[in-house]
Structures are given as structure tokens and as C-alpha cells.
């Protein structure tokens, strides 16, 4: 697929992420959401004697990175979902790696592509598919999910207290005419929430769009399984770095990392350990790394980014 515009994406927390990966000479690194290749390019700058595997489900990203890293024999670009990173490694005959990176969420390119339907800044067809070859789109979610299903995803994935009202009005509106565009959906949401000083409804629109995007791309369903599977792919001393952009993702990453870093879970009054559980990783940072004021001046989209890193024991 030929991409319609240059894949522009400003990598967030760039220096902190690459420093955290502690790139090793002759190491093997997997960027599971390569996007425009910003993080991967920096990994290659740190040490050219490495093997880099870049994965992305977005065909635009794959085309852009194939062009960006053209001629580099130590770089392999694969179109796939990050949940299938283990399958990709098996196909390439790689059992263990030195570093794993996942920069989750929607990319700047996807947000700024008017025809992708991720943002209500543009009037576009409802889409929101990160993998443009999959069948389920935002249009399907908005126009075919039941009122209860819509309420659930807006409440759970958007964390919006007006989920009931928004879901009810979506169904009411689509019964008159299908909701086909981002601007149509935006107006339905704005008509569903009260306006008062300090709330013009835009945050409700953002939360509902986020919820629908997560549902379309099954972003949360696969995250914990991905973490636990890929930890087993790390060599001793290897590191995994994950960047999240909203509280639901960060909560999953935080709890998964802590579970992997926890040893014996026997009650404190047991004289000896009977569970034989040992920690698989150590936390490189106990608290998430966030963007500096300097970075925020350049890229406001980094405001919600949180970086967590673990090291394999």
C-alpha cells in the first residue's frame, strides 16, 4: 500500500527510552511498534553492530520504515501486530533478544492523517483502524454495537461519567441516520453532556474517541499477554521499555511489571517458602518517567506519556 503522506511522528521520551534500554554491542533489539522509526533510528545510532527488528501493524509505517532503513542489512521490518512479536521472532529464527520496546497508542501520523478518522479535528469517515486491513472499524462500533455495549466501552475505556447519556444518544441518532463521520459523532457527544464553566465538552469527545479506538484495535486485551510472553524472550540483563499514553494502559504495565518483579508470595508467618516463586525481572524505574518541560514545549502530545522499564534477572 502506498502511503498518502510522509509518516511524521515525533518520538516521545526518546533519550530516556534509549538510555533505559542500555543498548549493547552485537545485541538484538525489537521495536514492536516502530511507527516512523524515530526510536529505532536512535537505537542504531547508539550501536551500529546490532540487529534490529521493527514491527508495526500500520502499512503506512511499514512502507515508511522500509524506505527510511533501506540498504541496512541489520534491519528487518515486518508488518504485524505487536502481540505477535514472538511469532515474528520465531519466523526469523530468533529465540532471545537483548531489548524490547513498545510505544503504545496512536501515532502522530495517524492522528494527523485526515482520512484515518482518529481525530475529531478533521471531518472524516469513522475508521480508527491501526491495521487498515482488518474489518472492524469505528463506523461498525458506533453503528452496530448495542447501547449497553457502547456504554461499557465508553465507561471502561474512556472513563467518562456520562457514558450512559452518550451511548443512548448515539443509538438515538443512528436510528435516524447512520453516523458516518467524526464530526457527526462529535456533535452527538457534545449534545449528550452538560456544559458548564471549565467544561466545553471537548474532554468528553476525546474520551469517547479514545474508547472507540481502543475497542476497534483491541489495545488492552493483548497488552498483559504480550508483556508476559516477551519477558521470556529477553536474555539475562536484557531490558523491556514500554511507553503508555493513558491510565488504563499504564495500570496494566505497572501491575504486570510488579508481578514479574515479585518473588515469594507465601504468607509472612510461613517458616519457609513453599511457593518457590522467584522474581523474573527487576524494576529499572520504580516510578514512571515523564516528559520534561523542554520536551513538552516541542511536543504537547508527550504530556500524557509514561515510560516504565524492567530488566531480566
Q: According to the model, what pLDDT value does residue 130 have?
A: 83
26 φ/ψ sector (left φ>0, alpha ψ -120 to 50, else beta): left
The CATH architecture that domain 14-105+220-312 belongs to is 3-Layer(aba) Sandwich (3.40)
Asked if residues 165 and 195 have their Cβ atoms less than 8 Å apart, the reply is no
Q: Is 36 helix (H, G, I), strand (E, B) or coil?
A: coil
The answer, yes or no, to whether residue 4 has pLDDT greater than 90, is: no
Cell of 131: 491495521
Q: According to the model, what pLDDT value does residue 121 have?
A: 75
Q: According to the model, what pLDDT value does residue 5 have?
A: 42
Range name among 53-57, 139-143, 191-195, 275-279 with the lowest pLDDT average? 275-279
Stated pTM of the model? 0.85
- In this chain, the answer to whether the domains covering 14-105+220-312 and 120-217 adopt an identical fold is no
The answer, yes or no, to whether residue 34 has pLDDT greater than 90, is: yes
Residue 92 to residue 273: CA distance in whole angstroms: 40
Range name among 85-94, 177-186, 273-282 with the lowest pLDDT average? 273-282
Q: For the chain, what percentages of helix, strand and coil (3-state, to nearest 5) are there? A: 45, 15, 40
Residue 134 to residue 146: CA distance in whole angstroms: 21
Q: Which of these, 8, 5, 9, lies nearest to 245 by C-alpha position?
A: 9
pLDDT band of 109, cuts 50, 70, 90: low
The answer, yes or no, to whether residue 174 has pLDDT greater than 90, is: yes
Q: According to the model, what pLDDT value does residue 141 have?
A: 97
Residue 161 to residue 154: CA distance in whole angstroms: 9
Q: Which of these, 131, 49, 37, lies nearest to 77 by C-alpha position?
A: 37
Q: Is 230 helix (H, G, I), strand (E, B) or coil?
A: helix
**What is the percent of the chain with per-residue pLDDT over 70, rounded to a whole number?**
92
Residue the block writes with cell 495517524: 110
The answer, yes or no, to whether residue 268 has pLDDT greater than 80, is: no
pLDDT band of 208, cuts 50, 70, 90: very high
Q: According to the model, what pLDDT value does residue 112 have?
A: 55
Q: According to the model, what pLDDT value does residue 2 have?
A: 33
Residue 303 to residue 204: CA distance in whole angstroms: 18
Q: Is 224 helix (H, G, I), strand (E, B) or coil?
A: helix
Q: Which of these, 57, 54, 91, lies nearest to 69 by C-alpha position?
A: 54
What's the whole-number mean pLDDT along residues 139-161?
A: 96
Asked if residues 260 and 279 have their Cβ atoms less than 8 Å apart, the reply is yes
For the chain, the domains span 14-105+220-312, 120-217
- Under DSSP, the state recorded for 21 is H
Q: According to the model, what pLDDT value does residue 148 have?
A: 98
**What is the percent of the chain with per-residue pLDDT over 90, rounded to a whole number?**
73
Average per-residue pLDDT for the chain: 90
Q: According to the model, what pLDDT value does residue 1 have?
A: 31
Q: According to the model, what pLDDT value does residue 3 have?
A: 35
Q: According to the model, what pLDDT value does residue 260 have?
A: 96
What are the start-end ranges of the E strands in the chain?
Answer: 28-31, 51-56, 75-79, 97-103, 234-244, 281-283, 306-312
- Is 120-217 a domain of CATH 1.10.150.170? yes
Amino acid at each position: 500500500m502506498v502511503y498518502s503522506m510522509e509518516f511524521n511522528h515525533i518520538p516521545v521520551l526518546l533519550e530516556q527510552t534509549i538510555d533505559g534500554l542500555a543498548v549493547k554491542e552485537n545485541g538484538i533489539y525489537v521495536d514492536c511498534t516502530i511507527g516512523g522509526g524515530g526510536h529505532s533510528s536512535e537505537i542504531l545510532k547508539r550501536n551500529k553492530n546490532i540487529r534490529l527488528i521493527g514491527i508495526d501493524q500500520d502499512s503506512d509505517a511499514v512502507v515508511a520504515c522500509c524506505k527510511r532503513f533501506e540498504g541496512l542489512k541489520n534491519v528487518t521490518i515486518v508488518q504485524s501486530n505487536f502481540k505477535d512479536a514472538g511469532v515474528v521472532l520465531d519466523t526469523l529464527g530468533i529465540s532471545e533478544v537483548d531489548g524490547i520496546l513498545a510505544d503504545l497508542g496512536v501515532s502522530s501520523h495517524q492522528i494527523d492523517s485526515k482520512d484515518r478518522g482518529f481525530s475529531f479535528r478533521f471531518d472524516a469517515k469513522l475508521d480508527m483502524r491501526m491495521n487498515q486491513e482488518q474489518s472492524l472499524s469505528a463506523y461498525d462500533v458506533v453503528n452496530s454495537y448495542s447501547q449497553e455495549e457502547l456504554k461499557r466501552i465508553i465507561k471502561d475505556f474512556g472513563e467518562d461519567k456520562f457514558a450512559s447519556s452518550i451511548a443512548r444518544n448515539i443509538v438515538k441518532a443512528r436510528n435516524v441516520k447512520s453516523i458516518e463521520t467524526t464530526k457527526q459523532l462529535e456533535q452527538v457527544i457534545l449534545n449528550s453532556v452538560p456544559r458548564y464553566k471549565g467544561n466545553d465538552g471537548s474532554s468528553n469527545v476525546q474520551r469517547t474517541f479514545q474508547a472507540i479506538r481502543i475497542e476497534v484495535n483491541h489495545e488492552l486485551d493483548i497488552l498483559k499477554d504480550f508483556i508476559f510472553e516477551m519477558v521470556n524472550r529477553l536474555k539475562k540483563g536484557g531490558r523491556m521499555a514500554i511507553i503508555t499514553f493513558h491510565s488504563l494502559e499504564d495500570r496494566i504495565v505497572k501491575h504486570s511489571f510488579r508481578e514479574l518483579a515479585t518473588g515469594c508470595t507465601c504468607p509472612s508467618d510461613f517458616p519457609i517458602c513453599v511457593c518457590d516463586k522467584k522474581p523474573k525481572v527487576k524494576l529499572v524505574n520504580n516510578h514512571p518517567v515523564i516528559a520534561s518541560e523542554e520536551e513538552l514545549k516541542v511536543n504537547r502530545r508527550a504530556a500524557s506519556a509514561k515510560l516504565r522499564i524492567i530488566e531480566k534477572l
